[in-house]
Structure formats: structure tokens, C-alpha cells
């Protein structure tokens, strides 16, 4: 069989030897036979396409509109967003999102799950995103979550807006129980969201316990409802930062139940590192979910970007690797195998949470690949390395020429590439 493309000398995740990757008819193939095109990767790390499991595309690029978030707090962010939402139009939502989708593509992200605020009687953002999901077609896969930013029972008409959103084609049903007016509303909102998802054959992804309040305990309700409705494998709990503040006995029992229910978890280090702990004097809590304990219990934990230049987080350029870099520090995941796990958290783990089939680096999988300008996971994270190539179905859809730096040393100009020798894994 002849190949369309042969990638020579690639380094796959956790591999110490280089190997060739063949591509034929848009899929990964055995690296044998003639190839129409050959690219020598010279030891660059190659992973499957990056997966973004948690972003709010409808809010991207709105930082400063109509006013900047002066405190940087979650609550000022929500207040500003409720003002900004009034000036949304389908076209301006689409224009902002198109920009960020290009950034994601350039960063190697080919699968995106976006929450979309549906607390809008006209559902403008959702209409725009539904159109865009269709327009991007084969280029990227987008899942949309009906996300009730102001609550299902605390916002006038919340229930019917959620139903409408599901009928309009939201792939996933969301919620925000800790933000509802009462504990009872919160519990009810979870039951409603889960039943709506079951009724329409959709998945569930709920913003759950995104607070420092150790009394915010909605994750246990999610686990129980998932078991009751038989939704195992189709439910994700996002943020769950309150878990950081629970007592250890409760957290132990909860993590066991999360595992039993088969929940997927998503942590969002960029936003939560700046939004949590805001009511603390010293010491200030970090306010992340218990990532290491969840992983150790066998729970599927993924890593999300959450915001790109919006009222809650003014920075970011939609690169999951930047979020992973922050999580290294915030979750103390600096061990060798933990650095490798972080790559799983932006590739295989979110692929499982989103239910993406045919994903990976095996022969026959779609040739959706990312080539990093770095020889190992550690170097890619350390340098937040540029993506030299991004391939979709075997076609190169993004190229980055890494910058070239020189220093003048002893009167001579020399190149600097910030790499220790030719790599760090096996001393090449
Ligand atoms: Fe979020």
C-alpha cells in the first residue's frame, strides 16, 4: 500500500525510541511502502489531537466589556457578564468565536466542548454556536453544553430555556447547583438536568461546587443521580473546587462514590487559581479539586481552559498546554509520571469524557496529530512548545515556525534553543 505521508523519527508519548508514522487515506497506517511526501521530525513529540473539554466560547474576547473586572473576583465577573449579555448578537458571538477557534486549531485542539449561557430568553449565543458548529464542519468537532449561568430555578423561565436549548441541539445538559438560591433548588436542578439528558439521549456536564464553601456538597447528588438514572460514563462534573475544603473523611467517601458512579471530572486551573480563596485571610487555600486523590482512585480527570479573555479571566490564548503548565505548579504535579499524566489530561482522558471514538495513535485511527517543537512531554510543558504541525485527517491544517533566538557570546553570535542537548528523555 502506498502512503500519502510518512512522518519520520517521531517520539510518541512515554516512548523512549523514535518511530515512523505512516498516513494513508486520512488514517494512521503502518510506515511501510512508498510515500508521496516525507517529513523528518527529528525526534519531535507527536500526540493525538488535543481535546478541550471545558471552555466558555460564548464569552471569549469580552474582557473589559462593558467594564473591566477590577477585583478579578468570580462574583464581579458574573455581574459584568450579566450586563455584557444584553448586547450579544448572533453575529458578534460568531465573530469572536471564529477567532478563538483558529487559535485552538493552531494549538492542536480539534475537539472542543463549550458551555454556552442559556439564561437569555432569545438564546442568541446558543443560536450562534449551533450555526458555527455546523459551519466548521469537518475542520473541528464542537460539543455544546446548555449552561444556565444564573441557575435553572433562580432565573425566570430557566427550566423552559433548558428544554428549548436541548431541542435546539445542545449536545450536553449543564447546571450550576451551588449558584442556585437554595440548597433545595440546587438539588432539584441536578435532577432536572440529568432527567432532561436521559430523556433526550444527551450527556451531562455540570459546573459543580465551584466555591470555597465546604458545605457545598452537590457532587454527591450528581453521583447518586447518575447511578439512579443509569447514566454512567455520560456525566462530567466540572470545577468541584469545594472538594479542596472538605474534611478528609467526607472527601474519601465522596471520591469512592464518584468512582462508583463513573463520573468524569474536569479541573480548570487557570480560572480557579485566580478565583478561589478570595474570602480567605492567610493562609489562602488553593481551591482546586483533589486531582491526585481522584486519579489515584481511578477516576477520569481532565484539564480544561475555561476562559479566554473574558470577565472571569483576562489572559489566555486557548492553549491547553498553558493550562497544564499552571496545573504542574498549582496541583504539585511535577513528578516525572505526573508530567506525563498531564498530557493524558489534555488528550486521551478528555477524549473519553467527551465520548470521542476512534481516537489515538493506533493504526486505523484518524490521522489527527500534533507535532510539538520539543522532544519530550517534559520539554513541551517546560517551554509551552509551539506546535510545528497540526494534522486533521492526515492533512496539515496548521504550521508554526518556532522562533529563532541568538545571543552574542564572547563576541560571536550563537543560536539558543533552550534544549538540554538534543532532548532530555534519553540524552540524545
Ligand atoms: Fe466553567
On the question of pLDDT at 156 being above 70, the answer is yes
pLDDT for res 339: 95
Question: How far is CA 29 from its chain centroid?
Answer: 28
Has residue 405 got a pLDDT over 60? Answer: yes
User: What residue segments make up the domains of the chain, in order of their start?
Assistant: 3-48+360-424, 50-353
Report CA-CA distances (Å) from 273 to 76, 119, 326, 351: 16, 26, 9, 24
Pick from 306, 300, 402: which is nearest to 355 by CA? 300
Q: How far is the CA of 115 from the centre of ligand 1 (A)?
A: 7
Distance in Å, CA 25 to ligand 1 centroid: 37
Residue pair 207/265 in contact (Cβ under 8 Å)? The answer is no
Question: Is 50-353 in CATH node 3.20.20.140?
Answer: yes
pLDDT of residue 423: 43
pLDDT the model gives residue 409? 94
Mean pLDDT of 360-386: 97
Q: 264: part of which helix (H) or strand (E)?
A: strand 264-267
> CA–CA distance from 313 to each of 38, 52, 273 (Å)?
42, 17, 10
Centre of ligand 1 from the C-alpha of residue 163, in Å: 21
Q: Report, at the CATH architecture level, how domain 3-48+360-424 is classified.
A: Roll (2.30)
Tell me the average pLDDT across 392-415.
95
423 C-alpha vs ligand 1 centroid, how far in Å?
36
Q: How deeply is 397 buried, as exposed, middle or buried, from its count of CB atoms within 10 A (0-12, 13-18, 19+)?
A: middle
Taking the centre of ligand 1 as the mean of its atom positions, its distance from the CA of residue 238, in whole angstroms, is: 7
Share of the chain above pLDDT 90, in %: 93
pLDDT of residue 426: 45
How is residue 175 written as a grid cell? 447546571
Is 50 exceeded by the pLDDT of residue 424? no
Output the pLDDT for position 274. Answer: 95
Asked if residue 356 lies in contact with residue 51, where contact means CB atoms within 8 angstroms, the answer is yes
d(CA 7, ligand 1 centre) in Å: 37
pLDDT at position 1, please?
67
* Among the listed residues 161, 235, 245, 176, the one whose alpha carbon sits nearest the alpha carbon of residue 202: 235
CA distance 404 to 331: 32
**3-state DSSP helix/strand/coil percent for the chain, to nearest 5?**
35, 25, 40
Selecting among 159, 167, 195, 210, the annotated active-site residue is: 210
**Contact partners, residue 236, CB within 8 Å, separation at least 6:** 53, 203, 204, 205, 206, 263, 264, 265, 266, 353
Report DSSP state, residue 419.
-
Q: Ligand 1 mean position to 206 CA, how many Å?
A: 9
Is 210 in the active site?
yes
Span from the CA of 207 to the centroid of ligand 1 (angstroms): 6
Q: What is the pTM of this model?
A: 0.96
Amino acid at each position: 500500500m502506498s502512503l500519502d505521508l510518512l512522518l519520520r523519527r517521531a517520539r510518541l508519548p512515554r516512548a523512549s525510541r523514535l518511530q515512523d508514522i505512516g498516513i494513508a487515506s486520512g488514517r494512521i497506517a503502518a510506515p511501510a511502502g512508498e510515500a508521496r511526501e516525507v517529513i523528518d521530525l527529528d525526534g519531535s513529540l507527536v500526540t493525538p489531537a488535543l481535546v478541550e473539554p471545558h471552555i466558555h466560547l460564548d464569552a471569549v474576547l469580552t474582557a473589559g466589556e462593558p467594564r473591566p473586572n477590577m477585583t478579578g473576583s468570580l462574583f464581579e465577573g458574573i455581574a459584568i457578564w450579566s450586563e455584557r449579555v444584553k448586547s450579544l448578537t448572533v453575529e458578534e458571538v460568531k465573530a469572536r468565536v471564529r477567532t478563538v477557534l483558529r487559535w485552538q486549531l493552531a494549538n492542536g485542539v480539534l475537539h472542543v466542548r463549550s458551555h454556552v449561557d442559556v439564561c437569555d430568553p432569545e438564546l442568541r449565543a446558543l443560536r450562534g454556536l449551533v450555526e458555527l458548529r455546523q459551519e466548521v464542519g469537518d475542520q473541528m468537532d464542537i460539543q455544546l453544553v446548555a449552561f444556565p449561568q444564573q441557575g435553572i430555578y433562580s432565573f425566570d423561565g430557566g427550566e423552559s430555556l433548558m428544554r428549548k436549548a436541548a431541542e435546539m441541539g445542545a449536545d450536553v445538559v449543564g447546571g450550576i447547583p451551588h449558584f442556585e438560591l437554595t440548597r433545595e433548588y440546587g438539588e432539584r436542578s441536578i435532577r432536572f438536568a440529568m432527567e432532561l439528558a436521559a430523556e433526550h439521549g444527551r450527556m451531562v456536564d455540570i459546573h459543580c461546587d465551584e466555591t470555597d464553601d465546604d458545605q457545598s456538597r452537590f457532587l454527591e447528588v450528581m453521583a447518586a443521580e447518575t447511578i439512579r438514572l443509569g447514566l454512567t460514563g455520560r456525566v462530567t462534573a466540572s470545577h468541584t473546587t469545594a472538594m479542596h475544603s472538605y474534611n478528609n473523611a467526607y472527601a474519601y467517601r465522596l471520591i469512592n462514590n464518584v468512582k462508583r458512579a463513573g463520573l468524569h471530572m474536569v479541573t480548570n486551573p487557570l480560572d480557579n487559581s485566580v478565583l478561589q480563596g478570595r474570602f480567605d485571610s492567610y493562609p489562602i487555600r488553593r481551591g482546586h479539586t483533589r486531582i491526585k486523590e481522584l486519579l489515584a482512585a481511578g477516576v477520569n480527570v481532565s484539564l480544561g481552559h475555561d476562559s479566554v479573555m473574558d470577565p472571569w479571566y483576562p489572559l489566555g490564548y486557548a492553549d491547553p498546554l498553558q493550562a497544564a503548565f499552571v496545573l504542574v505548579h498549582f496541583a504539585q504535579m511535577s513528578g516525572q509520571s505526573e508530567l506525563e499524566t498531564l498530557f493524558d489530561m489534555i488528550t486521551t482522558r478528555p477524549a473519553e469524557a467527551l465520548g470521542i471514538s476512534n481516537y489515538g495513535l493506533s493504526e486505523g485511527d484518524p490521522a489527527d496529530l500534533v507535532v510539538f517543537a520539543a522532544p519530550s512531554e517534559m520539554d513541551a510543558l517546560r517551554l509551552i512548545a509551539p506546535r510545528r504541525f497540526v494534522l486533521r485527517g492526515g492533512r496539515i491544517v496548521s504550521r508554526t515556525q518556532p522562533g529563532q533566538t541568538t545571543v552574542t557570546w564572547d563576541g560571536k553570535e550563537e543560536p539558543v534553543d533552550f534544549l538540554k542537548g538534543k532532548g532530555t528523555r534519553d540524552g540524545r
